[in-house]
């Protein structure tokens, strides 16, 4: 039950149903607790953390990652402990502490690789790439993003493909501010992937990145026309961070 609900919550969020996804994620953790089994509990915390990273609910990521670390450390479960380090590092990135983020995520990825695991490395590498970019260490940032892209191509791990492209665009704007065309192509790729997957939440995030770029280039109407229909598609989740930011951006673009 925990496994089914965990994957279902991620799918629901991706498809654009954040409130239903949140209820499913909460049920997954509760089902894991009810089993009384450490393995189920660690999996529940692990998957719920990924879900809340997708939603940018960083306070919940921090809470779940710490709980995951405690159980995994007690049981000597390196795989789950490694994930907890990555997730706590992601919280540091979100709170403006990229140096701490790089240290934790790097350690987490190293431990994760030592177990032979490869699933979700695209997620971890993109999180690390963003943290390196915030530090201004762009060579390291691109190393991470290039590896993430390579894994997507070779292993066909598509769950984070749109976000990898979007983050690559954001890193381009930070590292090469005069290369807006390259960033735009990354955002275009992110939008194309999200639309192909019918992943409305990823499409919204990619559309916001593109709209901000076009706004800064003086293309306000074009930006509005891109973002508005994606935002208007949603019927729930208007208190989520992405939808709040999209609404605020649309208001800016009207003035």
Each residue of 58-100: pLDDT tens digit? Answer: 999 999 999 999 999 999 999 999 999 999 999 999 999 999 9
Do 41 and 91 lie in a common domain?
A: no
Do 44 and 112 lie in a common domain?
A: no
Question: Which residue range forms the structural domain that includes residue 7?
Answer: 1-55
pTM over 0.85: yes
Q: Is residue 205 part of a domain?
A: no
Q: How many domains does the chain have?
A: 2
Do 84 and 30 lie in a common domain?
A: no
Each residue of 19-49: pLDDT tens digit? Answer: 999 999 899 889 988 988 999 999 999 999 9
CATH of the domain at 144: 1.25.40
236 torsion bin: left (phi>0), alpha (psi -120 to 50), beta (else): beta
Q: Is residue 246 part of a domain?
A: no
Q: Is residue 110 part of a domain?
A: yes
Q: Which of 159, 176, 203 is the last residue of a domain?
A: 159
In 3D space, the residue among 25, 45, 11 whose CA is nearest the CA of residue 159 turns out to be 11
Q: Is residue 38 part of a domain?
A: yes
Q: Which of 108, 141, 159 is the last residue of a domain?
A: 159
Q: Is residue 42 part of a domain?
A: yes
**Phi, then psi, of 206 in degrees rounded to 5:** -65, -40
């Amino acid at each position: 039950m925990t496994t089914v609900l965990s994957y279902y919550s991620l799918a629901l969020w991706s498809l654009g149903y954040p409130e239903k996804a949140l209820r499913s994620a909460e049920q997954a953790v509760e089902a894991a607790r009810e089993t009384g089994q450490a393995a189920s509990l660690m999996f529940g915390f692990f998957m719920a953390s990924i879900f809340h990273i997708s939603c940018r609910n960083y306070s919940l990521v921090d809470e779940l990652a710490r709980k995951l670390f405690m159980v995994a450390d007690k049981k000597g479960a390196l795989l789950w402990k490694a994930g907890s380090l990555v997730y706590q590092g992601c919280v540091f990135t979100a709170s403006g502490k990229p140096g701490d983020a790089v240290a934790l995520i790097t350690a987490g990825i190293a431990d994760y690789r030592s177990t032979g695991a490869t699933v979700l490395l695209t997620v971890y590498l993109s999180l690390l790439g963003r943290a390196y970019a915030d530090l201004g260490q762009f060579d390291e940032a691109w190393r991470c993003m290039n590896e993430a892209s390579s894994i997507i191509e070779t292993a066909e791990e598509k769950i984070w493909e749109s976000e990898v492209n979007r983050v690559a665009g954001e890193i381009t704007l930070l590292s090469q501010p005069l290369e807006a065309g390259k960033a735009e192509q990354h955002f275009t790729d992110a939008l194309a992937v999200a639309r192909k997957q019918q992943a409305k939440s990823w499409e919204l995030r990619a559309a916001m990145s593109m709209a901000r770029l076009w706004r800064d280039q003086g293309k306000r109407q074009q930006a509005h026309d891109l973002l508005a229909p994606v935002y208007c598609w949603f019927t729930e989740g208007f208190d989520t961070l992405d939808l709040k930011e999209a609404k605020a951006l649309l208001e800016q673009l009207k003035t």
